[in-house]
Amino acid sequence: MANIPGAVTDPSRVRGENIELQSGADTIKGYLAQPSQSGRYPGIVVIHEAFGLVEHIRDIARRFANIGYNALAPDLYSRKGGPSDPNDINTVFPVMFGKSDAEAVQDLEAAADHLRGLPGATGKIGVIGFCSGGRQTLLFASSSSKADAAVDCWGGFIHRATPDAETTPSRPTPILNMIDRLHCPLFAVFGEEDQNPTVAQSEELRSRAQRAGKDVTIKVYKNAGHAFLADYRPSYREGPAAELWKDAVSFFDKHLK
């Protein structure tokens, strides 16, 4: 595989473990990565793609731990299970669209609270998400005050609930309509070749944020489409991925450290 931005070259610097955390009346699963050396660290909630808490997402959490963050990736599919075949979009979509926005916010708030409760936690919390997790990053940052900085990576369906419906009972409000409620600085990532979200939607997000006076930075990466940081998929683009990793780390360091 080509060079991976932020790759952990010395595994002894990081410790990772599967955990359980309380979300409302439920117990959900997650993966927690931390620096091996004790200290005072901010936290980052890492939100998985539509495929669930795959090894790539765990690796992203370890990359953040490697540079001085406690990183928690909650399994948002804990209650009902993830797609039976992540390679078949027909099994992915029902699981992705079936996760209610209200439950997602509850789970992400639980993850933020868990990070704040860790020994040595500074109390600062960032959130980053990819694909459906990018959408949930926008949702979380616009619904809760528990995040101090947010990075949305190619969050799709921010303009409507599903391909066939503008709203659904589980997704009652298009995310673009919530930008005026944004609680923290946002860095929104788009690929110029992506079709969901599109470059046009990046401009809509920008204009809505500006009208609402929100702190939003938008960047459209050239020679990149959807999921260009996902090094385990054909969509991976080494150059833009390295650029994004540098940008995301700089954004979190500015707002969380």
For the segment 192-222, what is each residue's pLDDT rounded down to a tens digit?
999 999 999 999 999 999 999 999 999 999 9
Whether 3 maps to a domain, the answer reads no
Q: Which domain holds residue 199?
A: 11-256
Shortest CA distance to 233 belongs to which of 136, 97, 80, 130? 130
Q: Which of 148, 226, 231, 255 is catalytic?
A: 226
153 is catalytic: no
We report the CATH number of the domain holding residue 19 as 3.40.50.1820
DSSP 230-255: -TTSTT--HHHHHHHHHHHHHHHHHH
Give the pLDDT score at 118: 98
Whether 217 maps to a domain, the answer reads yes
59 is catalytic: no
For residue 150, what are the β-bridge partners?
127, 186
Give the pLDDT score at 2: 58
Buried b (16+ CB within 10 A) or exposed e, 189-210: bbbebbeebbeebbebbeebbe
CA distance 245 to 224: 14
> Which residues contact residue 25 at a Cβ distance below 8 angstroms, ignoring those fewer than 6 apart?
none
- What integer best gives the mean pLDDT of the chain? 97
pLDDT tens profile 83-99: 998 889 899 999 999 99
Whether 62 maps to a domain, the answer reads yes
Whether 5 maps to a domain, the answer reads no
Whether 58 maps to a domain, the answer reads yes
226 is catalytic: yes
Whether 52 maps to a domain, the answer reads yes
pLDDT tens profile 102-134: 999 999 999 999 999 999 999 999 999 999 999
As a whole number, mean pLDDT of residues 223-239 equals 97
Label residue 3 by pLDDT band (50, 70, 90): confident
Q: For the chain, what is the domain count?
A: 1
Q: Which of 131, 148, 153, 184 is catalytic?
A: 131
pLDDT tens profile 163-193: 999 999 999 999 999 999 999 999 999 999 9
pLDDT tens profile 13-59: 999 999 999 999 999 999 999 999 999 999 999 999 999 999 999 99
Whether 2 maps to a domain, the answer reads no
Whether 6 maps to a domain, the answer reads no
